[in-house]
Chain A
Amino acid sequence: MKPAPFVRHVPKTLDEAVRILGEVAPQDGRVLAGGQSLVPIMAFRLAKPAHLVDINEVAGLDRIDNDGKMLAIGACVRHAAFHKPAVDNPLGRLLSVVARHIAHYPIRMRGTFCGSLAHADPSSEWCLTAATLDAVMVAKSARGERLIDAKDFFQGIMSTALAEDELLAQVRLPLLAPGAKFGFNEFSRRAGDFAMSAALVTWRMQDGKMREVRVGVGGAEPFPRRIAAAEAALEGQPPGDTAFRAAAEIAASAVDAMEDHQTSADYRRDLVRAVVQRALEMSAL
């Protein structure tokens, strides 16, 4: 239950961090940000990285910037930075609602937004948020910088498009339209536990009808994604029980639900139906 030995590198700048990462990545070097997923995995000896590039002392990575279009979240921004709305936009309230479902208070003090995305647990609330809102990931390496769209970023259970020498330096989330509606719901067996299914929805009202509908589902498949068929069923409809039930049913049949030793695919599909409907109901309040 003690992590295996490793070399700890403590860069002070982003350039230094990606240079070191480039050098140690071929020897199983990893980035250490909040450590709230990586350190438990190391304690179990499921991961035995020979090098850790600790980015906690890199200046400027704890910034949240708003250019009026996107919210740019730096690699060391903790979950707790979203406890109170981080921006005066419906997105700020959305992130604040979602953040409260992430693990527990002390974990949220250390764990980071970008770290959750790089870790890519299927049940991650931030991964669901990034997928639903079409976040843009800024991947940095000694080779340069590239932008990755959320739909191309997640590739499987704890698997992303990041190369081994790339650091997820920033994630950009588009601000929502003023007055945009959102709803979030997740199911887990214990408070703070991993979500077995979660749903995030956003839309805006125009002439009594839902427009720009987004329906994201996480925890049910290897990675979260938008459910286009459910979105299409809601687009242009007035918000209400009939539309919500139909969309939840479509989402449930659209997912290729994962199974595990406690849970059948049918059960998880039932959960998807429930969380999508509850998220939609919350969005209409």
Chain B
Amino acid sequence: MTEKTPITLTVNGRNYTIAVEPRRTLADAIREDCGLTGTHIGCEHGVCGACTVLVDGEPVRSCLMFAAQADGKQIRTVEGLAKDGELHVMQQAFMDHHGLQCGFCTPGFLMLAVGVLEREPDISDEDLLDVLSSNLCRCTGYQNIVKAVRAAAKEMRGQ
């Protein structure tokens, strides 16, 4: 059926029961159907990384996954990073190291970096640089993003 079918997305621990067409991307469902517009959509073909979210702990391009494929899965978006009014270590590091200017790419970078560091806390600086090449930023020139993520990585490791 190309008609809408009901699915349940669990985003940041909250259930959203929505009806989507099979062609609805996860990115569009998060923004339009769940109303969580922190996840940004840039290129819509998997190049820019602005729409990166965590699905069952894995950083993925939400524009390259259909919402129906995420039915019943645990999704985390930028809205779920801060807890009790306090920024996540990664968000604070981006502020402290001037890792953003316009902010459009920031949610994608945050979810990418948090997702990778939760999966691989001891990732080398070199591999982390390779990971950060996944996403595009047109403001910062990347240097401050790299600094921010390396600083947050140290803190997340408890150093």
Residues of chain A whose beta carbon lies under 8 Å from any beta carbon of chain B = 1-8, 35-36, 39-40, 42-44, 52, 54, 56, 80, 100, 104-107, 109-110, 191-192
| Complex partner residue of B1 from A1, A7, A40, CB under 8 angstroms | A7
The reply to whether the CB of B38 lies closer than 8 angstroms to some CB of chain A is no
Tell me the chain B residues, 101-127 only, with Cβ under 8 Å from chain A.
112, 116
Other than A54-B69, A192-B133, give 18 A-B pairs with Cβ distance below 8 A: A2-B25, A6-B2, A6-B22, A7-B22, A35-B66, A36-B64, A39-B46, A39-B63, A39-B66, A100-B130, A104-B49, A104-B131, A104-B133, A105-B131, A105-B134, A106-B49, A109-B58, A110-B61
Q: Determine whether the beta carbon of B130 is less than 8 Å from that of A43.
A: no
Q: A5-B21, A105-B130, A192-B134 are in contact. Are A43 and B1 (CB under 8 A)?
A: no
Chain A proximity mask over B1-27: 1 for CB below 8 Å, otherwise 0: 110000000000000000001110100
Separation in Å of the B27 CB from the closest CB of chain A? 11
Q: Determine whether the beta carbon of B112 is less than 8 Å from that of A105.
A: yes
Q: Determine whether the beta carbon of B49 is less than 8 Å from that of A52.
A: no
Chain A proximity mask over B32-67: 1 for CB below 8 Å, otherwise 0: 000000000000111001001000001111011110
| A38, closest chain B residue (CB) | B64
Q: A35-B65, A40-B45 are in contact. Are A106 and B22 (CB under 8 A)?
A: no
A residues near B68, Cβ cutoff 8 Å: 8
Separation in Å of the B16 CB from the closest CB of chain A? 19
Q: A5-B2, A5-B23, A7-B2 are in contact. Are A106 and B45 (CB under 8 A)?
A: no
- Sampled A-B contacts (28; CB under 8 Å): A1-B44, A1-B45, A2-B25, A2-B28, A2-B44, A3-B23, A3-B25, A4-B23, A5-B23, A6-B22, A7-B2, A8-B68, A36-B46, A39-B65, A40-B46, A43-B63, A54-B69, A104-B49, A104-B134, A105-B130, A106-B49, A106-B59, A107-B61, A109-B59, A110-B60, A191-B133, A192-B133, A192-B134
| A110, closest chain B residue (CB) | B60
CA distance A36 to B2 in the complex (A): 21
Q: Determine whether the beta carbon of B61 is less than 8 Å from that of A44.
A: no
Separation in Å of the A123 CB from the closest CB of chain B? 15
Separation in Å of the B89 CB from the closest CB of chain A? 20
Residues of chain B whose beta carbon lies under 8 Å from any beta carbon of chain A = 1-2, 21-23, 25, 28, 44-46, 49, 52, 58-61, 63-66, 68-69, 112, 116, 130-131, 133-135
Most buried by B among A1, A2, A80, A105: A105
Q: Determine whether the beta carbon of A107 is less than 8 Å from that of B46.
A: yes
| A109, closest chain B residue (CB) | B58
Q: Determine whether the beta carbon of B116 is less than 8 Å from that of A105.
A: yes
CB-based closest 5 A-B pairs: A104-B134, A8-B22, A40-B45, A191-B133, A5-B2
CA distance A26 to B49 in the complex (A): 35
| Complex partner residue of B23 from A2, A191, A192, CB under 8 angstroms | A2
Separation in Å of the A150 CB from the closest CB of chain B? 27
CA distance A109 to B52 in the complex (A): 12
A residues near B65, Cβ cutoff 8 Å: 35, 39, 110
Q: Determine whether the beta carbon of B61 is less than 8 Å from that of A106.
A: yes
Q: Determine whether the beta carbon of A8 is less than 8 Å from that of B66.
A: yes
B residues near A109, Cβ cutoff 8 Å: 58-60
CA distance A39 to B23 in the complex (A): 10
Q: Determine whether the beta carbon of A105 is less than 8 Å from that of B59.
A: yes
| A35, closest chain B residue (CB) | B64
Q: Determine whether the beta carbon of B60 is less than 8 Å from that of A106.
A: yes
Q: Determine whether the beta carbon of B2 is less than 8 Å from that of A43.
A: no
